[in-house]
Amino acid sequence: MRVHIFLLLLLALHACQKTEVPSSNKSKTSPPKVLLIGIDGCRPDALKLANTPNLDNLISVGAFNPQAQTCARTVSGPSWMSILTGVWPETHGVLDNSFEGYVGKPASHFLTRIEEFNPSYRTASITEWAPLSNLARPGADFVAAPKSTTEVANLAISELRANQPNVMFLHFDEVDHAGHSAGYGTNIPNYIQAIEHVDSEIGRVLDAMENLDDWLILATTDHGGTGTSHGKDIPLHRTVFLLASGNYKGGPKRWRRYAEVVDIVPTIFRHLKIPLKPEWNLTGVSLGMSGPNRPQPYTKSFIQTFDNSEASIEMVPINDGDYYLSKTEIPWEIFDLFFLRSSKEIEADGISGPSKSVFPVDRGYGHDGYPALGMTFNSAQHFCEWLSKETGREYRLPTEWEWMAGAKGARNGWSKSNSDGRPHPSGKLPAERNGLFDIVGNLAEWATDSSGKGVVCGGSFQDATISPQSRDRYDRSWQARDPQWPKSSWWMSDCGWVGIRVLCGSP
């Protein structure tokens, strides 16, 4: 009997040992995986306004930089090659969408370098823009160029289920198509809808991934746009976004402040533990690393002074010093320095300015300490040009998105209910959390919309409702009593409720 019991114990122990083997195999660390998502022509400001729950979820647990930069040649060929090779056009040689001049191996596609490092890695490239599929060969194991956003997602889901790739690049072109046909911008319904559709397809892909914890998920775009085009070296064309979410094995999940699209390839290689070779001449810096020779963020306010006046402008950092907005609306003491220049001063600095007005410019509301008002969009732009030349710093009007970021959460302002029908001196109401005064209410403020035209933001002392969403656009009634023809390009005779807040990129 004891023998039988002993044999049964041995059999039970043997059975337990055998069942533990597959369990130990499952506990082994999975190889790192990467999904790179490219959304062609997707402006960061429009992405923020669109309803994108899937990308929003990735952003909430990841690193997001909406002020990253692409190359100066803001067309798809040079920009995507910079993203996919980690070097700028002067190195990879692509200067337009013909891809002529591509130097090849000295600036290899990142999937080719991954294949050379570890041929056992399964890689895939599924791109709606066909020229990108040609560039992925011979490095990628699976290459396809479907003709729609939905087909990109369908092929990605099929690849995930059938082959469990280690690295996959997806390119969606629908947003750029919408930009070219309807316009790029936050106020273009077709453009916003295209972003939302791409997000829904990305959601289907994410649902098909077995374990998101195994993946580093990166997303970016190649350029922005204005009107129905792009290609200029201007902020609304060069400013892009970088997103990193999921499991990153390379260090802190944080983009450098001055992030660029060439940071993506080094990030992928660092995550996959691929040593960077000097002969690759990669230009970017991987996620979590600091950029060389870049100034540290300056996150304190600074004071702009003037040689010929005791007046000054305090500039407040927005988004941890990505840019600076004036703490208050520009007061008359500053605007007068521009408006009241002599003819010799105008001739010396070469910047034209407002003529003498046919009506009191301050409308009798008050002058010193009160915000300057009633200037046209053209006048506001010339003021910024003069301010830049006068101070040696680059000043301009904020874009609509930049203004909105500064106004986020604002609630303290003069409106119809508390203003007694007139503007008030700056700083009489509490500042917002970021230190700005009167960014909603008091005066509506000029900003630049996605097409480069003027839009006034925030509402004014005469409005029943003031908020960061308040908007108005020039109407001829704003100059109804102006006796001149054509109407003045400097003053608005019937618009004593619009003013200026200026932006500076760096101290």
The angle, 0 to 180 degrees and rounded to 10, between the axes of the packed helices 189-208 and 174-182 is: 180
Taking alpha carbons only, the member of 424, 419, 398, 411 closest to residue 469 is: 411
Q: Are 440 and 407 in contact (CB under 8 A)?
A: yes
* Strand-by-strand arrangement of the 498-499 sheet: 471-472, 454-457, 444-448, 498-499
Question: In DSSP terms, which residues pair with 35 in a beta bridge?
Answer: 168, 217
Taking residues 144-148, what's their average pLDDT? 97
User: Does the pLDDT at position 177 exceed 60?
Assistant: yes
Angstrom CA distances, 5 to 11, 16, 167, 415, 470, stand at 10, 17, 54, 90, 84
**pLDDT of amino acid 20:** 36
Task: State pLDDT tens for residues 294-303.
Answer: 444 456 899 9
Place of tokens 């010396």: 348
Q: Are 359 and 493 in contact (CB under 8 A)?
A: yes
Going from N- to C-terminal start, the domains of the chain cover 33-280, 302-504
**Distance (Å, whole) CA 34 – CA 273:** 12
**Distance (Å, whole) CA 169 – CA 82:** 14
Strands (E), 111-220: 123-127, 142-144, 167-172, 215-220
End-to-end CA distance of the chain: 90
**pLDDT of amino acid 351:** 83
* Class for the domain spanning 302-504: alpha beta
pTM of the model: 0.58
Q: Phi and psi (nearest 5°) for 34?
A: -135, 130
Under DSSP, the state recorded for 31 is P
Under DSSP, the state recorded for 485 is S
The structural architecture, per CATH, of the domain 33-280 is 3-Layer(aba) Sandwich (3.40)
More confident residue, 362 or 26: 362
User: Does the pLDDT at position 245 exceed 50?
Assistant: yes
